[in-house]
Amino acid sequence: MNITVIGRGRVGGGLATLWTAAGHDVTTLGRDGGDASDADVIVVAVPAAAIDDALGRVSGLNGQVTIDACNIYSPRGSEFASLSHQIKSIIGGPTAKSFSTNFAAAYDQLKHEAIRPGNLFAADEAARASTEQLIEDAGYEPVFIGDLEPGARLLEDSSGLTRALAWQIGPFFYRYSRPGEL
């Protein structure tokens, strides 16, 4: 896939490294913006408060499949149901929420895990296949929680639990399975 990652920080830069190693053509864009018109998939990995500004600096956003990998750490506005919905209102394509419950600090340890850790995601139907493929190519097992509505907001609201666990044990992996499948 031809992927444009908007955000060069730990999440965006880390995912770009994983996907490049998996054979994808990845372009990263930072604060200077750039052109995303050749992208099959757009990944947005910027602080929640920077979404409008970051996407405003990128040309060629024309309804591509989009993955929202943003986290929210401050009070949210009420204009959108989730950050994913905000991003979708700008890019206009099918959208997924993914990678927001995983720790970028642990990306380099994925290859050492005996069992692929899970990655919770929500998606519009038209974004699901691409998102699942990129989750797998990053080294995770996709765990679909349902449609973008209400899934994206559920994932965003779980960030407090994720942070509380990390405060106790540090960055961690998780795995969901039915009994007898581990």
Pairing mode, strands 58-59 and 65-68: unpaired
pLDDT class for 182, splitting at 50, 70, 90? Answer: confident
Q: Could you give the C-alpha distances from 110 to 7, 72, 83, 127, 170, in angstroms and in order?
A: 21, 24, 27, 24, 15
Task: Check residue 146 and give left, alpha or beta (phi > 0: left; psi -120 to 50: alpha).
Answer: left
pLDDT class for 54, splitting at 50, 70, 90? Answer: very high
pLDDT in tens, 70-95: 998 877 777 999 999 999 999 999 99
Buried b vs exposed e over 131-144: b needs ≥16 C-beta within 10 Å? bbebbebbbbebbb
Average pLDDT of the chain?
A: 95
- Beta-carbon contacts of 122 under 8 Å, excluding residues fewer than 6 positions away, are 84, 96, 97, 98, 144, 145, 146, 147, 148, 151, 152, 154, 155
What pLDDT sits at residue 89?
97
What is the rounded distance in angstroms from the CA atom of residue 39 to the CA atom of residue 53? 20
Mean pLDDT confidence for 105-110:
96
For the chain, state the CA radius of gyration.
15
Q: Could you give the C-alpha distances from 148 to 42, 67, 97, 145, 181, in angstroms and in order?
A: 16, 11, 7, 9, 27
pLDDT in tens, 11-40: 999 999 999 999 999 999 999 999 999 999
pTM to 2 decimal places: 0.96
Residues 15 and 45: beta-carbon distance below 8 Å: yes
- For residue 155, report the phi and psi dihedrals to the nearest 5 degrees: -65, -40
